A and B are shown apart, each in its own frame.
Chain A
Amino acid sequence: MTSQTALSGSAADRPNLRRRLAAAGWDRITLLVLPAAAFVVLLFIYPFAYGLVLSFQPAAGGLFANYAKFFSDPYLYDTIGTTMWLGLPATLINMALALPIAFQVRHFRWQRILTTILVIPITLGTVLVAEGLLTYLGPQGWLNRTLIELGVIGSPVRLIHNYWGVFLSLVITGFPFVFLLTLSYVTGIDPALPQAAATLGAGPASRFRHIFLPLLVPGLAVAFCLAFVQAFSVFPSAVLLGAPAGPTRVISIAAYQAAFEQYDHSMASAIAMIMGAVQLVVVVAVLGARTLFYRGPMGSGKG
């Protein structure tokens, strides 16, 4: 620390490159960051830039031909709506479930066991959950049999190879992730704050609205963004559990088909860029709404 300040002090009389770098904090230790940075640039930034450029070099037509084709063909542009229609409700349901459950569980004795059980669906991955749901939700599966036995329904409900199969798989794989994030935000709040509010006579509902909610909104916005972006890029369960030709033809299926069935890598890159852009728009909108919430009057109670 002291040697660095000494260096920047003597930097007045024509410093060489090494000293100037040292003044900016770049010495031999800092260089250790370079291999990893080079790797990420080479295999993440470069492919993205390459894909972006490639998307403007279509197989036929002008600069924007791929994008024009995407937004003029309903078979392609409908995938955005389809994916939204799956991803948004699934994420909202997961948030709505995770928040009260996190509040309930935060003082729970076996919290660690519960979180461990909830980590399992994340690690099993979407492919296994899809395969399990095919058997479990099928017309002869345990869920339909139980519901018929209980007299809730007369004949089996169709839950696979349609919208609901994919939706349920998104809830099952997405909920644990949202829950763990929410739990870590809820337990991160200083317990002295709600206690002070309780001393001043605030009931549970009022404590939640005036203490917890404002403190939680930034974290919840991040959790929503991460969960939505995951749900928006749903792929294996939409193919295996949904109807990939129709109601669950999500945008990643369109991109995959362009790349590996039509071998039109330019078009595939364009779809991947559109996918990234839609995700970015939603993330920016949610994070922007969070700032609005903060700047707005606290008493309005909108969240």
Chain B
Amino acid sequence: MRSVDSLPAKLWNSLIWLVIGFFLLNLFGLISAVGVNSFATRWLGTWFPAGYTTRWYFSAWDEFQLWDVLLVTMEVVLAVVVLSLLLGVPAAYALARREFSGKKLLTLLFVLPLLVPPITYGIPLATVLYQVHLAGTMTGVILANLVPTVPFVILVMTPFIEQIDPRLESAARVFGANTFKVFAYVLVPLLAPGMLAAGLLVLVRTVAMFELTFLTAGPSSQTLVVALYYSVFAAGVRAGQSVDAMAMIYMATTLIWLFIALRFVDPTQLVTRVKKTS
């Protein structure tokens, strides 16, 4: 298979590594540009800033009321994770364990919100939420963010539940456990690793979910990413370094959770699982 070592093959190989390297270099460049700028005293027309300071972090913290924004972000994310697991895991269990009429239709129903991009359904959804006076509140933001995350939990958890031996539950039933007891004492411990992985991925997605929060949030229910958007949008009013300091705080929040999540899931596996179900 890998015996081809002719000159064109070698050139092709190096070309591809060059492309990968170029992509990663630019990615690294854009992330570190934000990082360097957030510590810069003055950075105009040179390779590197004239001096370094940490004061932009303090000014960003005060200017953008980041403490409040972080608190809102944590509340929204926590509520979304817990509620999407509560709604999604039982549904995934039913889909994994039972064959019933209408199952295909239900699967389609759960795949659709993941295929349609948030901004397309976000606008009608925001309109409905405004009608019932939920838009601009925390409840509205949480409800909107649950729309893609509940199906996501179902799609991740269904194959996970399928691989758990159903005889374990049957055995518990033989010894007189009711549905609730089977769920609490047999299933939840077995499901814990899958729920942890799904929950962490929902968490990362929700921290980074811009469109739905942007369309439904009011001034007091902005999450970090929406606050970042508004600060970039109104750039010029404030120092660019201050905006970049906020971007760094946002990046840190997302990346910490991403690396925790990656300890529990293999990114390629996840894509394959989602692909198979859709």
Contacts and interface: CB of A to CB of B under 8 A. Distances in A.
Interface of A: 24-33, 35-37, 39-41, 43-48, 50-52, 54, 97, 100-101, 104-105, 107, 111-112, 114-117, 119-121, 123-137, 140-143, 145, 172, 175, 180-181, 183-185, 187-188, 191, 194-195, 198, 203-204, 219, 222, 226, 229-230, 232-233, 235-236, 239-240, 252, 255-256, 259, 265, 268-269, 271-272, 275-276, 279
B98 A236 contact: no
Nearest to B278: A222
Contacts of B115: 226, 229
Contacts of A229: 115-117
Contacts of A128: 34, 225, 228, 247, 250-251
Contacts of A114: 20
B175 interface: no
Contacts of A115: 267-268
Secondary structure of the A contact surface, majority rule? helix
Given A26-B100, A40-B109, 16 more contacts: A25-B100, A33-B90, A35-B87, A36-B88, A39-B146, A43-B125, A44-B112, A104-B16, A116-B262, A120-B255, A126-B210, A127-B229, A132-B34, A140-B45, A180-B267, A184-B275
Contact of A240 (B112, B119, B232, B268): B232
A51 B211 CA distance: 17
Interface string B52-90: 000000000000000000000000000000000001101
Contacts of B44: 140
B121 interface: yes
Nearest to B259: A116
B16 A269 contact: no
B186 interface: no
Interface string B140-167: 0001101100110010000000000000
A127 B207 CA distance: 12
A181 B93 CA distance: 26
5 contacts: A54-B127, A256-B215, A265-B130, A271-B123, A272-B120
A132 B272 contact: no
Nearest to A263: B130
A180 to B, nearest CB: 5
A295 B196 CA distance: 44
Contacts of B120: 233, 272, 275-276, 279
Contact of B225 (A127, A185, A222, A279): A127
A40 B147 contact: yes
Interface in B129-146: 130, 143-144, 146
A276 B116 contact: yes
A258 to B, nearest CB: 9
Interface string B91-121: 1011101111111001001101101111111
